[in-house]
Amino acid sequence: MPTDPARVAGQAPWTRDLARDVFPDPVTPFAWTLLAAPAETALRGAWARLAAALPPGPLWRLEGGRAWLSAAAAMALPSATGSALWLAGARPPAPAGLMARLQAGAAQRKAGAEAEAALARTAPVRERTLAWLARAHGLRWGQADLLQVMEELEPRAAEALEAYFLARAALPAALAAVDHALAGAAGGDQALSLYAGLAGAPTTELIAAVLSGDPRRIAPCGHRGPGEMRPDAARWGDSPGMAQVAAATQRLREPAQVAARRDEAERALLARLEPSRGRAFAAALAGGRAALTAADGAWDAVTAVMAAAQLWLSHAAVEALGAGLIAAPGQAVYLALEELKQVATGEWHGGRSGAVQEEMARRAAGLASPGGAASPAVPAVGVGAGAGEGPVHAPAAPQPVPPPGPAPGSVWCAEAADAGCAPFWPAAAAVVAWGGDPYAPGMVAARLAGVPAVSGGPALSGGRARVDAARGEVAAA
């Protein structure tokens, strides 16, 4: 089953898997109405490519400012592919019986081939999305530009999300193949070090750029940042003060050290394996690294769409102010996309604006404390190598790390680790994502950052914590 099935408002089980990444708390009206339809289209398209039949009805649900994914949708993929692909902890047991195993084998081969093809498509999707974002930044933002980008937001979101869902589905199987090749030969920390600092992964480039303190290096990845799936995020390219803090913070590990530890771990593991097993391990590792880089790249494309949406929203907010919908630009996140479209196209008229301010206040109050059941505790699983201990830093939305930022040596703890915060993690003692999804964007970023990281465990919000990734342990210190 998914890691955290829960019943929402008496309905069928829903899970926070995937939903906590695409729709971080609290989900504003603009974010929900921008992403819900593309996420529905993207997930159905991705699962159809992998021959997984999805249930009828909405796949995503919004409950009190918190988003959920249908648990049946999460299980449709592993059920259809005989565990070749799965989400988080949703891997099912192997089927019983010869015929069932033969059918599962065919499904696995077909799904595996499609997943490999999908991984190859993520780089072009990212390139197109980044080029589109660059064009948006270069617009004069007249009326025609506002309308053009408005029509492009949802199709771009659907394309990027489908690429991400496909890469995200393929990732667990690819990393499991590496673990299988190392069965009985790997020390815990060495196996967890194999993905740290991979060249070509967007998160690796982001960390190096921000730590350099050079605005020219930050610019190509400036669409990333804390709370990057929010339409009011603090993005690295627009927050020079935040970047300066990250660059100047005393670090526990440098990117060069992270890469050296990765290479040393790979050599040590190869030395333990006989030649035939060594070749199998090398092939599996290349596949695992390619899958991790592809998932990171697809996520980068998704965040670029949100950066473009934030740019569009800032200009649409000017129109909304003139129409009397909002009293300050920051209130634009409480408007639905359709409402902003009506303003942009001139369909909204002043006579409809009388009660809008009261409605904005009501919507803002409704998001103050997201509702819905919280994720239950799940077993801790080591993701990034090493161990660390320090004061707990529990980031809060929408800007988890406004300057001056957390103290060096902090243990970052949240339901979902924020991948946009990765440039702060070289100074962190450890990262813990208690929601329990080891393949989520933040956990991918933690692997790449080379920081001790654990998926699952207790939800700590204060005090001190001790984290041992190799043992999969998280405890109050």
The H or E element that residue 390 is part of is strand 387-393
Range with lowest mean pLDDT among 21-30, 164-173, 400-409, 435-444: 400-409
Strands 60-63, 6-7: pairing kind? unpaired
Q: Which of 397, 396, 415 is nearest to 456 (CA)?
A: 415
pLDDT over 70 for what percent of the chain?
A: 85
Question: Which single residue is written with the structure tokens 């998001």?
Answer: 367
pLDDT at 359: 82
**DSSP structural state of residue 405:** -
In the predicted model, is pLDDT for residue 430 greater than 90?
yes
pLDDT band at residue 423 using 50, 70 and 90 as cut-offs: very high
The mean pLDDT of the chain is 86
| 122 or 343: which leads in pLDDT | 122
pLDDT of residue 395: 83
Answer whether 28's CB lies under 8 Å from 334's CB: yes
Selected residue with higher pLDDT from 366 and 419: 419
Rounded Cα distance between 251 and 369, Å, is 34
More confident residue, 368 or 159: 159
pLDDT for 24: 82
pLDDT > 90 fraction of the chain, expressed in percent and rounded: 61
pLDDT at 325: 80
pLDDT for position 436: 85
pLDDT at 108 over 90: no
Q: What is the pLDDT of residues 344-356, one digit of tens each?
A: 888 876 555 667 7
pLDDT tens per residue, range 3-58:
555 544 445 588 888 999 999 888 999 999 999 999 999 999 998 888 888 888 89
Give the model's pLDDT for residue 233. 93
* Cα 166 to Cα 389: distance, rounded to the nearest angstrom: 35
Length in residues, the chain = 477
Question: Mean pLDDT over residues 94-113, rounded?
Answer: 54
**In the prediction, which pLDDT does 446 show?**
97
Residue 104 pLDDT: 47
Structure letter (DSSP) for residue 261: H
Instruction: Give the SS3 label for residue 48.
Output: helix
Instruction: Give the pLDDT confidence score for residue 305 in this predicted structure.
Output: 98
Evaluated on CA atoms 233, 31, 131, 343, the torsion sign reads: negative
- Cβ atoms 448, 203 nearer than 8 A: yes
In the β-sheet with 378-384, what is the strand arrangement from edge to edge?
378-384, 453-457, 430-433, 411-414, 387-393, 464-468, 473-476
More reliable by pLDDT, 395 or 256: 256
Residue 291: pLDDT above 90?
Answer: yes
pLDDT at 314: 96
Q: What is the pLDDT of residues 238-281, one digit of tens each?
A: 999 999 999 999 999 999 999 999 999 999 999 999 999 999 99
What pTM does this model have? 0.92
Q: Note the Cα 238 to chain centre separation in Å.
A: 20
Among 451, 412, 450, 417, smallest CA distance to 433 is for 417
Q: Render pLDDT for 182-232 as a digit per residue (tens, 0 to 9).
A: 987 766 789 999 999 999 999 999 999 999 999 999 999 999 999 999 999
Domains of the chain: residue spans and CATH: 186-272+377-477 (3.50.30.10)
The answer to whether 289 and 259 are in contact (CB under 8 A) is: no
| C-alpha dist (Å) from residue 415 to 24, 303, 387, 436 | 10, 19, 20, 8
Query: Which tokens sit at 432?
Result: 């813990």
In the structure, what pLDDT confidence band is assigned to residue 1 with cuts at 50, 70 and 90?
A: very low
Q: Once rounded to an integer, what is the mean pLDDT over residues 350-374? A: 68
What pLDDT was estimated at residue 50?
83
pLDDT tens digits, residue range 58-103? 999 998 789 999 988 888 876 666 555 555 444 445 544 444 443 4
Q: What is the reported pLDDT for 196?
A: 97
pLDDT at 454 over 90: yes
Predicted local distance difference test score (pLDDT) of residue 44: 94
111 pLDDT more than 60: yes
Reading the block at residue 448, the tokens are: 């790449």
Residue 162 has pLDDT above 90, yes or no: yes
